[in-house]
Amino acid sequence: MSSGALEIIFLWHMHQPDYRDHARSEFTLPWSYLHALKDYTDMAAHLERHPRIHAVVNLVPVLLDQLEDYTEQFATGNWRDPLLRLLAEPDLGRLGAAERKLLLDTCFRSNHLNVIAQFQRYKRLHDLFRIIEGQDEAALAYLSAAYFADLVTWYHLAWTGETERRRQPLVAALMAKGEGFTADDRRQLVGLMGELVRGVIPRYRALAASGQIELSTTPHTHPLAPLLIDFASAREAEPNAELPVAACYPGGRARTTAQLEHAIASHTVRFGAPPAGVWPAEGAVSNALLKLIAAPGCRWTAASESVLAHSLRQAGRELPPREQYLYRPYRVESAPGVAVFFRDEQLSDLVGFEYRKWHGRDAAADFISRLHAIRRQAPAGETAVVTVILDGENAWEHYPYNAHYFFEELYALLEADPQLRTTTCADFIARHPNATRTLPGVVAGSWVYGTLSTWIGHPDKNRAWDLLCAAKQTYDLVVGSGRLSAEEERAAAAQLSACESSDWFWWLGDRNPRHTVASFDRLFRLNLSNLYRRLKVEPPLVLAEPVSHGGGAAPEGNGTMRRAG
């Protein structure tokens, strides 16, 4: 049994898919800037208050693209997000029916009712709406300009991070005012929001420059890379998985390489050096993907515990207790230059799903006690490393006060404990070059159940892959044919990248809320239609019809969090 210090890696994955309609230069959903206000600011602030805590922060390039777009909008007032346009509108008495509907649909989105209930004045707006909900436009017309001014203001106040509520006098003053928000109130709020969004990337850049955090990246638009490379990889963990009609995604290996190269290049420009590590979208790995990650010289990547368990079983190894195999990086024989860290699913899911129900101090103490139990059971003479990975935004709205007290207690306890040490992936492998073990190969899988079933296998998901494959075939026929200028080809390539995001396939099917499935279904088909138009081809009629007619309630405890809303 080990008596040395236990090392802990937190990897906070920051991602939102591309919500832009590039054909119209308009945002369709506001989640990227809203999470910047609430979560990316709070997560940076927790680290800034606890300088002895080290972590990895994974910033997906397509999220950073959008934050930079929003920074430009706040600087110029040239609003491409309709919700921000309405917040900044001086005279809300001029709202049309479509704009009123947008505010009512957005500002009362059902998965934020627990947030609305915290604020009496905000809840009163919701109660008033419930009286006339479902009635015709004439009934909605009774809602005044003052009502909509209060609604759009409260929505954005509710999306401010807990740290900013505590240190920004404007936020405190507006919350205390509670109602009757004026155009000047909203103008000041827009100004503050612009400062916060503009500060996100520089704050993480500064934390990295200080050595406190390591920044990693993901292929540019967050594609499900093992499936882009080979649909059959889904059958490595699930031999009977149903696959799309298309045999493969055309040119998928080259597309994955392009997405990875784009990510590394943009990361280098933004942060001054290429990333040492890559978190693959959804923690989804395969042997083929590991080779591609190794090619540009990346030193580490990460996957999940179930993938390791499947891989060890495939290699004919009996699984000992988790402490004997999980808490160290591995190198795969076909890509030995890349160390693979494996996520502790139990600890990660406690943070993601369970601790939100606890008092912050009790949750932090429980987490620490579990770390000490792992430390005591680790093999003698080895330095064990526990890897905790989850989304850095979507869990916190389910915690009281955006998980403020949980993080303050957890980080303080870790800083004070000499037997626990937070670190980063690159730092760990630099200090412990011989800590890795060897795997013959990995069984392709993700951080959800250790399989790829969240993105393929369901009829709706397979139908979406077939639609994407058909669009890619058209892309391959047109690009290079001379029909498009060089600039038009670059625009088509960017649009293709947006179509390749894993998020479209995640939401389709019957395991997520119906309204969210419909929203992402529309956005996926819009992206495909825009791709055809970029190629100067009329979109097929099938894109006018929904891919999915399902939708239900998303189960919890599935290893990750929803990435939107």
Question: Residue 268: inside a domain, yes or no?
Answer: no
Q: State pLDDT tens for residues 530-547.
A: 999 999 999 999 999 999
Q: State pLDDT tens for residues 232-247.
A: 999 999 999 999 999 9
Which 3 state secondary structure label does DSSP give 382? coil
Of 110 and 117, the structure prediction assigns the larger pLDDT to 117
- The dihedral through the CA atoms of 556, 64, 262, 431 has a sign that is negative
Question: Residue 260: inside a domain, yes or no?
Answer: no
Mean pLDDT: which of 123-127, 139-143, 560-564 is highest?
123-127
For 319-365, give the secondary structure using H, E and C: CCCHHHHCCCCEEECCEEEEEEEEECHHHHHHHHHHHHHCCHHHHHH
- Cβ–Cβ under 8 Å, residues 186 and 153: yes
What residues have CB less than 8 Å from 79, skipping those under 6 apart?
Answer: 73, 85, 88
Q: Is it the case that residue 554 has pLDDT exceeding 90? A: no
What residues have CB less than 8 Å from 83, skipping those under 6 apart?
Answer: 30, 102, 103, 106, 152
Burial tier of 278 (Cβ tally within 10 Å: 0-12, 13-18, 19+): buried
Q: Is it the case that residue 505 has pLDDT exceeding 80? A: yes
Question: Residue 155: inside a domain, yes or no?
Answer: yes
Euclidean distance between CA atoms 72 and 498, whole angstroms: 21
Question: Residue 106: inside a domain, yes or no?
Answer: yes
Q: Which domain holds residue 144?
A: 70-201
Q: Specify the number of domains making up the chain.
A: 1
Structure tokens at 12: 């906070």
Return the pLDDT at 564: 43
- Cβ–Cβ under 8 Å, residues 543 and 467: yes
What pTM was computed for the model? 0.96
- Of 101-105, 180-184, 475-479, the one with minimum mean pLDDT is 101-105
Question: Residue 549: inside a domain, yes or no?
Answer: no
Return the pLDDT at 565: 47
Question: Residue 184: inside a domain, yes or no?
Answer: yes
Q: State pLDDT tens for residues 319-355.
A: 999 999 999 999 999 999 999 999 999 999 999 999 9
**Which amino acid is residue 170, in one-letter code?**
L
Percent of the chain with pLDDT over 70: 96
H-helix or E-strand spanning residue 302: strand 300-304
Question: Residue 140: inside a domain, yes or no?
Answer: yes
Question: Residue 179: inside a domain, yes or no?
Answer: yes
The 8 Å CB, 24+ separation contacts for 504-508 are 504/17, 504/464, 505/224, 505/454, 505/455, 505/456, 505/461, 505/464, 505/465, 506/282, 506/454, 506/455, 506/563, 508/458, 508/460, 508/461, 508/464, 508/547, 508/548, 508/550
Euclidean distance between CA atoms 30 and 159, whole angstroms: 11
Number of Cα atoms under 13 Å in the Cβ half of residue 518? 5
